[in-house]
Amino acid sequence: MNTKSNLQDVAFLIPLRVDSIGRLENLLEVIKFINRFFDTNIHVLEATGYNNQLLSKLLPAYVTYTFIQDYDPVFYRTYYINQLLRSTNSTIVGVWDSDVLVAQHQIEEAVNLIRAKKADFVLPYKDKFLDTTVIIKELYLKTQSIKMLKENEMKMNELYGPDPVGGGFFAHRKTYLASGAENEFFYGWGREDGERVNRWNNLGYKLERVDGNMYHLTHKRGSNSRFHSRQEAAMKQEELTRLAMMSSDEIKREIRNWK
């Protein structure tokens, strides 16, 4: 019998809107994976217009679940990450998409880098962010095997290359808050991952990456998995570029205005 790794000082924060059966299925699999290998804390925040109580009934008792009624058709992910961040007291947080997996040792290494004060923020993968095909996802659901995913990487589609920074990361919670946490200018899907990493680098925080890939359990891409217009994409790119060109002092002043 495998002994779970002690991650009691970590809280996995998973905000989502359940917009398909595939998304729900993926969330339950990700939670199952985390619980299989880690003694830790998992916080799920669901925000949508109607509480059908389906998720609350399906989630295991060890998951802390919050529902927020939100009629906005756009899922405001940065805002809800900040809500989760401020609702936990864990020393380390893992901001986690509801559809992603990495090997167990990658999570352990990421957390240990923060514990040892060798990093403030860690991306638990370094190489590729790979989208499983429907067939490979079904194989994972049957086998629960990260090894199987690794063996079939050549059959997957690469997302957001060549230097992906989305999907999930670990952070020292107090440092994350001091860095400005999430930039709520980024409303809806896209670009917030790149802005966040640029800001950490410009502020002089220690950002590390762990060798290995991240896997995305594929699902149908609804309105909250893409830009809503060309104008939105351009506006977010402009904001990302504007902040990336700032000095550390300028970013600190910007963050004070956010508060």
Q: Tell me: the pLDDT tens digits for 125-148?
A: 998 999 999 999 999 999 999 999
Mean pLDDT of the chain: 92
What are the counts of helices (DSSP H) followed by strands (DSSP E) for the chain?
10, 11
pTM of the model: 0.93
Rounded distance between C-alpha atoms, residue 108 and residue 215, angstroms? 17
pLDDT tens-place string over residues 185-223: 888 766 889 899 999 999 999 999 999 999 999 987 655
Cis peptide before 73 (omega within 30 of 0): no
Structural domains of the chain, ranges and CATH numbers in brackets? 7-258 (3.90.550.10)
Q: According to the model, what pLDDT value does residue 224 have?
A: 52
DSSP conformational letter for 209: E
